[in-house]
Amino acid sequence: MRIAFILYKYFPYGGLQRDFLRIARECAAQGCEIRVYSMDWEGEREPDWDIRLWRPFALTGHGRNERFQRWVYAELTRQPVDVVVGFNKMAGLDLYYAADGCYEAKISSQRGSWYKHLGRYRHFARNEQAVFAAHGNTEIMMISRVQQPFFEHHYGTPPERFVLLPPGIARDRRAPTNASQLRADFRKEFALADDERLLLMIGSGFKTKGLDRALRALAALPPAQGARTRLFVIGQDDSRSFKLQAKRLGIGKRVAFFVGRDDIPRFLLGADLLIHPAYNENTGTVLLEALAAGLPVLCTDVCGYAHYIAEADAGVVLSAPFQQADLDRTLADVLISKKRAQWQRHALAFADQADIYSLPQRAAERIMARARQHTPSNAGSEVGA
């Protein structure tokens, strides 16, 4: 069984990229031949996979995407596979992994009509139409219900083409039996006193995740409380503007930035609160990773996985419309709340019984079922013409 996976870029610390890797590994474990098409690959490569890279030159990002797509489908015409799985929207996919929200809904609500005359808009709109068109044959693997109504509204996509996958956090995020000792070691390493509180933000895409909001909330804490509170930010993104913001707010010395790391579980165990005031977030996998580690969460309700925090009673979910004053006040309250120990217990209990781990297995099942049918949507057709 030959499976082609397509994604524009692979790097070890992106949520989409980590999902791709675990799904592809699950397919490989079932005996499938794995072929990957990408423009860039950072990190180690799976030795048995056929990884094909091509970095096209173009003056714009969407121009590079279009040239890459045409190259991919020329390759697939020359060497067909049984099923084509895309992690970015484009024509010719048998299955699409829907990590991103509805582009048309975003543009309609945030941009003027002039924007639709741009080449960038036409590129992304055409690719989204190719995946979600009512008459299409692409199966859509959703990782959150939040965006499905937008796709159905804008494209008339039949509901039966959507498949909702369970979350799929890595099991190493679960708190181990020696969690208390690991927490103590972590806090000693970073010189965190017993009366200090550590806020944690994790995720590439600092702007979307609401880092600016978190910085303002930290700066708004009462002076005595703020002096005992620090923020660690982990993610593969440009931090320069946020460092300047922290400096302007007078909290530069209380904020530390880290690039993507392999030891995230240590930070989850060592922190006191995950803060995630996102502007928009299809899922928010880190929310579930915090649950599994027993770390209380403060997030916005736009996150697709925010409902798990509410169901587990493991923190606070801020309702829309977002108000900075609400976040400021809630952060101050949460840091001194006597419910924090209760939230921790609830989080650990929820992580023990809820299915928040099986996404790779369920996705692999769908992919292999489609491969057995071997009824490609339009694989091999030219893209971006």
* pTM of the predicted protein model: 0.82
How many other C-beta atoms can be found within 10 angstroms of the C-beta atom of residue 106?
Answer: 14
Least confident among 172-176, 277-281, 344-348, 381-385: 381-385
Burial of 117 (0-12, 13-18, 19+ CB in 10 A): exposed
The span from the CA of 168 to the CA of 177, in Å, is 22
Pair 105, 28: CB distance under 8 Å: no
> At residue 14, does pLDDT exceed 50?
yes
Residue 376 has pLDDT above 90, yes or no: no
The CA R_g of the chain, rounded to the nearest whole Å, is: 22
Q: Which two tokens stand for residue 354?
A: 């809820």
The span from the first CA to the last CA of the chain, in angstroms, equals: 30
The 10s digit of each residue's pLDDT in 273-315 is: 999 999 988 889 999 999 999 999 999 999 999 999 999 999 9
Q: Give the separation between CA 49 and CA 272, rounded to whole angstroms.
A: 40
> What's the pLDDT at 58?
95
pLDDT, tens digit (0-9, with 9 covering 90-100), for 201-223: 998 889 999 999 999 999 999 99
For 31-87, the pLDDT digits (tens) are: 999 999 999 999 999 999 999 999 999 999 999 999 999 999 999 999 999 999 999
Query: What confidence tier does 136 reach under pLDDT thresholds 50, 70, 90?
Result: very high
Percent of the chain at pLDDT > 70 equals 97
Task: Give the side-chain half-sphere CA count within 13 A for 319.
Answer: 1
Q: Which pLDDT value is given to residue 383?
A: 43
Question: What share of the chain has pLDDT > 90, as a percent?
Answer: 87
Q: Which two tokens stand for residue 327?
A: 């976040």
pLDDT, tens digit (0-9, with 9 covering 90-100), for 37-53 = 999 999 999 999 999 99
Query: Which residues of 15-143 form beta strands (DSSP E)?
Result: 33-38, 40-41, 50-53, 83-86, 95-98, 139-142
pLDDT at 380 over 50: no
pLDDT bin (cut points 50, 70, 90) of residue 382 is very low
Whether the pLDDT of residue 374 is over 80: the answer is: no
Is the pLDDT confidence value at 141 over 70?
yes
Average confidence (pLDDT) over 341-368? 95
pLDDT 10s digits, 363-373: 999 999 999 98
For the chain, the average pLDDT equals 94
